[in-house]
Chain A
């Protein structure tokens, strides 16, 4: 891993830390998608954006 180098440098922070991605399912928010079940992950992956502004 190339990050090993950073790890050994004295003052680097964040090695192995991912981003939090907060999404809404069934009305609730969920802090990260790690705890989502497989079906919900697939559903979230498939979501497309809706165009706004129709005039």
Chain B
């Protein structure tokens, strides 16, 4: 300790200007800390005290109140005077480090201030993701966490050159706020999860027994998993997963109706009728299905009259049994169908309203379906589509789940295919509600995995577009279920084009360097992900949702099972890249298209080579780029100026898309974009923008979908305007004036007029209060 000699220095001025009591021990401790790190200059206690006193003496003599910065300068001087260069260096580094931390704190505090006191309408940062409401308490809290985490990772976790590459816009590490926490997404097999029940971490749920509980538990599973991952959640085989629920409902309802019929027709007590049906189920089994009811009926007609006679019970004629069976089948079918509709309606409502991530958003959910041709699955698909068509409470278009109709020749694509009617219905619904999107299992890169009737061999799409199928780590497990993307990072492609200055060779050199950097980064993140234990993911791993996780114990690491997931490199702005390299984008020139395919082909090859080398699943992603579309270009516009066709808009074009502003026919757009689908094995989507009311032109809509399929597109959808007037409930295209009630945005309509409209249109919302 420094002896508290009477010192003239009583106070010191902190960086924020506050005067606080002076404590020379703080100086001594700082010198000690610096000296500890320099073994070559071991300092004695006395020496420490001596230097400290000399520092204090400077201000004693001058008779001034020093600032922290002045004192630190003096310490540096004294250390050099005493010939302690190593200690001085360590001290200077220590100062610089703290300086950096203070700056980080100041930046972060500035961000927090904006998040707290400015509305999202003014702050783009709060609208990074359109599905999160950052104006709410929980949304803001989520943003605090997110921004704080990013600052922490940049300073302490991510290697310097990688963090800088992200900050300066060379690359974009997606979901960086979750860098050291979890993975992107997973394709959940509900069949496996429901078997014998499951636990959400907050309670145990037994195996469901009817379609309503199947659909309710589907939502709960999506919600539970969403809270453990940073991306979306997908059910790759929704029709297959719900079909057993329909079968169970039908069975229950059949025997209920059979009991009712026998009770009434044969004048039995309720107890006797129940006992009779119990005997039937015991002797004939309960295995009646939607498609196998006839066989069961025949057995029943043979059985029941004999059973009555042999047992000495009241006679029941064969004709009565036949009638009872027919009644029970019809009643059970109707009731199962309406229960299924209600279950699907509830599912859509739940997925649009249930909270996730502390209430800041609803789960990002995707449902893939269309290929299960069983009667039960068909009932599910039809009712899900009908519930989607009907919309939410007041007829609003549901935002979730993302729905993906899997198109497959021989299953649902052509007249005569067993689910062709559902394909037609899917088109009708998508023309009204924008969902479902369409995925194409006949695209060669999807077809190569396809085995008829095996949902695990059917490619599914998650959330915005992610796709997982090939498996270099374990080629015997090229399946959809239980797998997903681990993390992905995108490359700023246009910047490479700008920096290459028209030199294609140079462009490829830069691209390869950038790919190397991203590979290093994804491996860095992967290593952190691999250090996690099963207990870090009580649902995803603890309940066996992720592939093979059921073989792990609570304290095991997830390193091995994670290797079934994918590490993906993405890109945006191929169009701008081609523009800067050749003067034309791929919509404008066949040469550019050729170069575009070469570039993306090269990126894919790098991923394949890396997979071969590391035995991990590297794949190439056509990045969705919601938050990213504006980030890269705004940095580049500052750095390189406004380059026409390249940096002169507020966004870079989505992945390999032909620019949205470029006039082109749907057919040509599809032809140009399709070959990129084959290359982007981590996911892709193509859009066609359709004019007018799509509902009134289903043939044109279908022709677009068929064109996509024939061109070898993997995943696509048709965009068309879906507007709604919340006042009168009109759904369709609204220009300046609502075609139903005649108001403009912001104007009011008289209650009399709305009452009048309601007579004609039952979906005009009800208003219960005068406001």
* Chain A partners chain B: yes
Q: Is the CB of B747 within 8 A of A14?
A: yes
Q: Is the CB of A21 within 8 A of B721?
A: yes
Q: Which residue of A lies closest to B133 (CB)?
A: A35
Q: A26-B625, A52-B688 are in contact. Are A35 and B124 (CB under 8 A)?
A: no
Q: Which residue of A lies closest to B669 (CB)?
A: A50
B626 CB within 8 Å of chain A: yes
Interface string of B594-634 (1 = CB under 8 A from A): 00000000000000000000000000000011110111011
Q: Is the CB of A47 within 8 A of B661?
A: yes
Q: A27-B685, A39-B633, A40-B651 are in contact. Are A14 and B748 (CB under 8 A)?
A: yes
Determine the distance from Cα of A37 to Cα of B754 in the docked complex, in whole angstroms. 35
Identify which of residues 8-50 in chain A touch chain B, using a CB-to-CB cut-off of 8 Å: 9-31, 34-40, 42-43, 46-50
Set A3, A20, A23, A37: member contacting B747, Cβ < 8 A: A3
B46 CB within 8 Å of chain A: no
Q: A22-B397, A25-B626, A51-B665 are in contact. Are A42 and B650 (CB under 8 A)?
A: yes
Q: Is the CB of B624 within 8 A of A26?
A: yes
Determine the distance from Cα of A20 to Cα of B722 in the docked complex, in whole angstroms. 8
Q: Is the CB of A47 within 8 A of B689?
A: yes
Identify which of residues 121-170 in chain B touch chain A, using a CB-to-CB cut-off of 8 Å: 121, 124, 127-128, 130-133
B726 CB within 8 Å of chain A: yes
Determine the distance from Cα of A18 to Cα of B435 in the docked complex, in whole angstroms. 23
Q: Which residues of A are found within 8 Å of B465, using beta-carbon distances?
A: 26-27
Q: Is the CB of B750 within 8 A of A9?
A: yes
Q: A3-B746, A52-B703 are in contact. Are A37 and B734 (CB under 8 A)?
A: no
Q: Which residues of B are found within 8 Å of A48, using beta-carbon distances?
A: 660-663, 689
Q: A24-B434, A31-B399 are in contact. Are A19 and B734 (CB under 8 A)?
A: yes
Q: Is the CB of B660 within 8 A of A50?
A: no
Determine the distance from Cα of A46 to Cα of B761 in the docked complex, in whole angstroms. 34
Q: Is the CB of B664 within 8 A of A50?
A: yes
B245 CB within 8 Å of chain A: no
Q: Which residue of A lies closest to B687 (CB)?
A: A24
Q: Is the CB of A20 within 8 A of B700?
A: no
Report B738 CB to chain A, min CB distance, Å. 7
Most chain B beta carbons < 10 A, residue from A9, A28, A30: A28
B228 CB within 8 Å of chain A: no
Q: Is the CB of B745 within 8 A of A11?
A: no
Of the four ranges (under 10, 10 to 19, 20 to 34, 35 or more), the interface on chain B belongs to 35 or more
Most chain B beta carbons < 10 A, residue from A15, A23, A27, A39: A27
Q: A27-B624, A48-B660, A51-B666 are in contact. Are A10 and B689 (CB under 8 A)?
A: no
Set A7, A18, A42, A54: member contacting B667, Cβ < 8 A: A54
Q: Which residues of A are found within 8 Å of B625, using beta-carbon distances?
A: 26
Determine the distance from Cα of A19 to Cα of B651 in the docked complex, in whole angstroms. 25
B590 CB within 8 Å of chain A: no
Q: Is the CB of A18 within 8 A of B745?
A: yes
Set A3, A40, A43, A53: member contacting B130, Cβ < 8 A: A40
Q: Is the CB of A22 within 8 A of B754?
A: no
Q: Which residues of A are found within 8 Å of B690, using beta-carbon distances?
A: 49-50, 52
Q: Which residue of A lies closest to B692 (CB)?
A: A49
B719 CB within 8 Å of chain A: yes
Q: Which residues of B are found within 8 Å of A24, using beta-carbon distances?
A: 434, 687, 717, 719
Q: Which residue of A lies closest to B741 (CB)?
A: A14
Q: Is the CB of A30 within 8 A of B437?
A: no
Report, nearest first, the 9 A-B pairs whose CB atoms are least far apart. A39-B630, A27-B464, A11-B751, A26-B624, A14-B727, A42-B650, A49-B691, A12-B748, A50-B666
- B residues near A (Cβ < 8 Å) are 120-121, 124, 127-128, 130-133, 364, 396-400, 402, 434-435, 437, 463-465, 624-627, 629-631, 633-634, 649-651, 654, 660-667, 669, 685, 687-691, 700, 703-704, 717, 719, 721-727, 734, 738, 743, 745-752, 754, 767, 770-771
Given A27-B624, A47-B660, list of 12 further CB < 8 A pairs? A6-B747, A7-B748, A14-B727, A17-B745, A19-B725, A22-B724, A35-B130, A35-B133, A38-B630, A52-B691, A52-B704, A53-B703
24 contacts between A and B (CB under 8 A): A3-B747, A3-B748, A6-B748, A10-B770, A11-B770, A12-B750, A13-B727, A13-B750, A13-B751, A15-B748, A17-B746, A22-B397, A26-B624, A26-B654, A27-B463, A37-B627, A37-B630, A39-B650, A46-B660, A48-B663, A49-B690, A52-B690, A52-B691, A54-B667
